[in-house]
Amino acid sequence: MHLESVRLIQYKNYKQAQVSFSPQVNCFLGENGSGKTNLLDAIFYLAFTKSADQALDMQCIFHNEDFFSIKGEFKVEEKKRVVLGAYQKGKKKQIKLDDKPYKKVSEHIGKFPTVLIAPNDTDVIRGASEDRRKFFDAIISQVDQGYLNNLIAYNHVLKQRNSLLKQFAEQDRFDSDLLEPFTEKLVELGTKVHEVRSSFIESFKPLLMEHYSKLSSEKELIGIEYESDFAEGIEGKMQSSLKKDLILKRTNKGIHKDEFVFIMDDVPVKKFGSQGQQKSYLIALKLANFDFLKNQLGVKPILLLDDIFDKLDDQRIEKLMQMVASDAFGQIFVTDARPERSISIFEKIDQEHRYFHINNGQIQARETK
């Protein structure tokens, strides 16, 4: 599977652009702010139906316009597949595959597996538990549509339960019969989500450990600990938390409170890992992400590397590029503000590569071997 071309209309700083790609390595070169990351983000949008760095679609529209569209042509097992993503102010977004709209946008997730490594990924290591849940949910959702549906349904019921708790506080009353159905549904859906997360972590751990070992010369023993209210006795925990729920007007137990603790030599990486150790752990997480999707789906995901060379030392860059040269990956997209660096790196690799010089939303392609 690879992306053959993309056409942008009024997406971020691109008024209009169309570009064709190499099935192997593609380098987006240009100064910071020129539009390299925006082009990478358009590819991300084709896979995930949303921007990687903007919460709202309207924030992705070209200045003073009222809509954008992204069209991508993929090649999957010698068959062309066309994805269209479009949004107009005041209307629902449109996602189409081969000119057929989805009933639910979420049905598209996993059709074109993609892994992004970006500068703000440090949030996965250093941020709140929500960042780690989102990271793993994004991986699992690409291979398990049922998991994604249960997760969406859980969050919907959670909102309803929280709204009811607020109503109780505002009206100074409590009705257990009214609240109980929402609690039971949270337990039902949360149990399903917890089972999948538990199984996933067990299969993900070995991939993570293998990649950390390859990337780092350090000898630390690493792992992941999955902490969840659903590990045992969730019904009792929900009941004992009811008083606190009513006071705080929100649900305090559930899979929305799950935590994934990244461990190195029996201590949390977040608190005790050096900057180099955290970088190695993060890249290992992303490469394990890649391998998990490849193993589950039988195809190599598209790999998006945004400004990655500035975040890695020479040793880690060399190790990563050795993997690129070994055919471990499929199609790769890289951004770099220092063209001479990328050119020097990829000229040494026996892979077809193509350079795209980007300046203020204008793209100039240069053919290479």
Q: What are 166-184's pLDDT values in tens digits?
A: 999 999 999 999 999 999 9
Instruction: Assess if residue 314 is contained within a domain.
Output: no
In terms of domains, do 66 and 140 share one?
no
In terms of domains, do 42 and 95 share one?
yes
Instruction: Assess if residue 304 is contained within a domain.
Output: no
Residues 125-137, mean pLDDT to the nearest whole number:
94
Q: Residue 303: beta bridge partners?
A: 115, 332
DSSP 321-336: HHHHHTT--SSEEEEE
* pLDDT for res 311: 66
Instruction: Assess if residue 146 is contained within a domain.
Output: yes
Is 32 marked as binding a ligand? yes
CATH code of the domain covering residue 213: 1.20.1050.90
Taking the model in full, what pTM does it have?
A: 0.88
- Among residues 67, 95, 19, 51, the alpha carbon closest in space to that of 355 is found at 19
* Structure-model confidence comparison of residues 140 and 315, the more confident one: 140
In terms of domains, do 17 and 97 share one?
yes
Is 33 marked as binding a ligand? yes
Instruction: Assess if residue 285 is contained within a domain.
Output: yes
Residue range 272-307, pLDDT digits in tens: 888 878 888 888 899 999 999 999 999 999 999 998
In terms of domains, do 108 and 121 share one?
no
The three-point CA angle 219-223-228 to 5° equals 160
- Is the predicted pLDDT of residue 15 greater than 60, yes or no? yes
- Among residues 141, 142, 290, 279, the alpha carbon closest in space to that of 207 is found at 290
Residues 235-241, mean pLDDT to the nearest whole number:
94
* pLDDT for res 218: 61
Name the one residue in this structure whose structure tokens are 């309207």: 58
The helix-helix angle for 129-141 and 176-215 (nearest 10°) equals 80
Is 180 marked as binding a ligand? no
In terms of domains, do 156 and 9 share one?
no
How close are the terminal C-alpha atoms of the chain, in Å?
20
Is 286 marked as binding a ligand? no
Is 30 marked as binding a ligand? yes
Question: Which structural domain range is residue 232 located in?
Answer: 117-298
CATH code of the domain covering residue 85: 3.40.50.300
Domains: count for the chain: 2
Within 10 A of 177 (CB to CB), how many other CB atoms are there? 6
Give 35: exposed, middle or buried? Use CB within 10 Å, 0-12, 13-18, 19+.
Answer: buried
- CB distance 168 to 246 below 8 Å: yes
- Is the predicted pLDDT of residue 317 greater than 80, yes or no? no
- Is the predicted pLDDT of residue 106 greater than 60, yes or no? yes
- Is the predicted pLDDT of residue 369 greater than 60, yes or no? no
* pLDDT for res 326: 74
